[in-house]
C-alpha cells in the first residue's frame, strides 16, 4: 500500500500530564485496524511536538514524539490529548499558531480531556458547541467568559460540531475514534477491531452520559443523571421545572418523581444545593465580591445568598471566605 492508498492521516499532540488511557484507546484502535491487513494499514498516524523531548503523562509514563510539528496540513485530523485535570501549564505560542494553521487549512481538530482549554485559548471554538467535563465546567467558564454557556455541553461526554470534536475523556474516547474512522473505513473493519478491544460495536453512538455529580448514584436512571448535570452547569440560570423537564423529554411530574425516588429531594431543592456549592467554590477560588457571586449563582442579591449560605454552612459568606483563607497554607 503506497501513501496514496492511506484513507486517513492523524497527528497526535500530547499535552503535559496527558491521560495515557485516552491516547492508548485511540491508538489501539488504529493499531488493530492496521493489524487486520496484510500490507501497510489504512491509517497513518504519528505523535508530533515542537521538540522531541519525551512528554510525561499523568501516570508518569513518557512518550517520545515521532516527529516535529512540521506542516499540519499533512494530517486530516489533529488529535490533542489532554489530561484529567484543569491544565496548569499553558501551551506555547508555536503550538497555538500551528493549530490555527491546521484550522485555516480545513483540518479537523479533536480535543480530548482538558485539551478543550487549548482549543478555546487558540480561539478555535468560536461559534461551535463543545464538551467540557462536569468537574471542570466552573473553572472553564471562569477562564473563557466569552464562550456562551449554552454552547457548552456537560451532560454528554462528546460533541461533534463540524470540524471540531471535543470529548471529556474516559471510555467515550473509543467512541470518538470509531466515529471518526467510520467516515473513512469499512464498517466491518471497525466492528471487528472494536470486538477485539472488548468494546460493544453495537453500543450507542454518542448516547453516553458523563459521570454524575457527587451525591447522585452512578446507577441511577440516565434522565436523573442528565438532569443533575444540567443543573450543575446552569447553577446561576437553571431553567424552571417545566423547561428542565422539556430538555430531558419528560413531564414535570416524571422529573419530580425521579428526584424524590432516587435522591429523596425535589429538583428545586437540589438546585438550591448546587447554587450554594457553586457559591462556596467561587468564594474559595475567586476574588469576586459577594454581590457578584450572588448574581452569578442565581440569587436575587447578596442578602438572599447570605441567608441561604448561613442556613447551609452555618456562617455568613464573608466569614466562610476568611475562615477558609486562614486554614489554607
**pLDDT tens sequence across 269-324:** 998 998 898 899 889 888 899 999 998 888 989 999 999 999 999 999 999 999 88
d(CA 32, CA 57): 23
Angstrom distance (rounded) from CA 174 to CA 28:
9
Summarised one tens digit per residue, pLDDT across range 155-192 is: 889 999 999 999 999 889 999 999 999 999 988 889 88
Distances (CA, A) of 283 to 250, 273, 291, 318: 35, 15, 11, 8
Q: Which of 98-133 are b and which e, b meaning 16 or more Cβ less than 10 Å from the residue's Cβ?
A: bbeebbeeebbbbbbbbbbbbbbbbebbeebbbbbb
Tell me how many degrees the CA angle 208-210-216 measures, rounded to the nearest 5.
Answer: 120
Confidence (pTM): 0.74
CA 307 from centroid of its chain's CA atoms: 34
User: Diameter of the chain by CA atoms?
Assistant: 71
In contact, 162 and 136? CB cutoff 8 Å: no
Q: Cell 448546587 identifies what position?
A: 274
Amino acid at each position: 500500500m503506497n501513501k496514496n492508498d492511506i484513507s486517513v492521516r492523524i497527528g497526535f499532540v500530547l499535552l503535559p500530564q496527558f491521560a495515557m488511557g485516552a491516547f492508548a484507546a485511540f491508538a489501539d484502535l488504529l493499531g488493530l485496524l492496521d493489524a487486520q491487513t496484510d500490507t501497510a494499514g489504512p491509517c497513518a498516524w504519528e505523535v508530533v511536538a515542537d521538540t522531541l523531548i519525551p512528554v510525561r503523562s499523568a501516570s508518569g509514563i513518557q512518550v517520545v514524539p515521532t516527529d516535529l510539528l512540521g506542516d499540519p496540513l499533512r494530517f486530516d485530523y489533529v488529535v490533542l490529548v489532554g489530561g484529567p485535570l484543569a491544565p496548569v501549564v499553558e501551551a506555547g505560542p508555536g503550538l497555538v499558531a500551528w493549530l490555527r494553521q491546521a484550522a485555516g487549512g480545513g483540518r479537523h481538530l479533536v480535543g480530548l480531556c482538558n485539551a478543550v482549554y487549548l482549543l478555546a485559548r487558540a480561539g478555535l471554538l468560536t461559534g461551535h458547541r463543545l464538551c467540557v467535563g462536569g468537574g471542570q465546567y466552573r473553572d472553564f467558564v471562569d477562564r473563557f467568559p466569552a464562550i456562551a454557556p449554552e454552547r457548552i455541553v456537560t451532560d454528554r461526554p462528546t460533541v461533534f460540531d463540524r470540524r471540531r470534536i471535543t470529548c471529556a475523556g474516559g471510555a467515550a474516547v473509543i467512541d470518538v475514534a470509531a466515529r471518526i474512522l467510520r467516515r473513512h473505513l469499512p464498517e466491518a473493519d471497525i466492528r471487528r477491531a472494536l470486538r477485539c478491544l472488548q468494546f460493544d460495536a453495537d453500543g450507542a453512538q454518542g448516547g453516553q452520559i458523563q459521570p454524575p455529580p457527587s451525591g447522585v448514584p452512578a446507577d441511577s436512571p440516565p434522565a436523573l443523571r442528565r438532569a443533575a448535570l444540567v443543573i450543575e452547569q446552569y447553577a446561576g440560570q437553571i431553567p424552571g421545572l417545566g423547561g428542565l423537564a422539556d430538555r430531558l423529554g419528560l413531564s414535570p411530574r416524571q422529573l419530580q418523581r425521579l428526584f424524590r425516588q432516587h435522591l429523596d429531594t425535589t429538583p428545586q431543592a437540589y438546585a438550591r444545593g448546587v447554587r450554594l456549592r457553586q457559591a462556596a467554590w467561587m468564594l474559595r477560588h475567586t476574588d469576586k465580591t459577594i454581590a457578584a457571586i450572588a448574581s452569578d449563582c442565581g440569587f436575587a442579591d447578596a442578602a438572599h445568598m447570605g441567608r441561604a449560605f448561613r442556613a447551609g454552612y452555618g456562617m455568613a459568606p464573608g466569614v466562610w471566605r476568611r475562615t477558609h483563607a486562614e486554614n489554607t497554607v
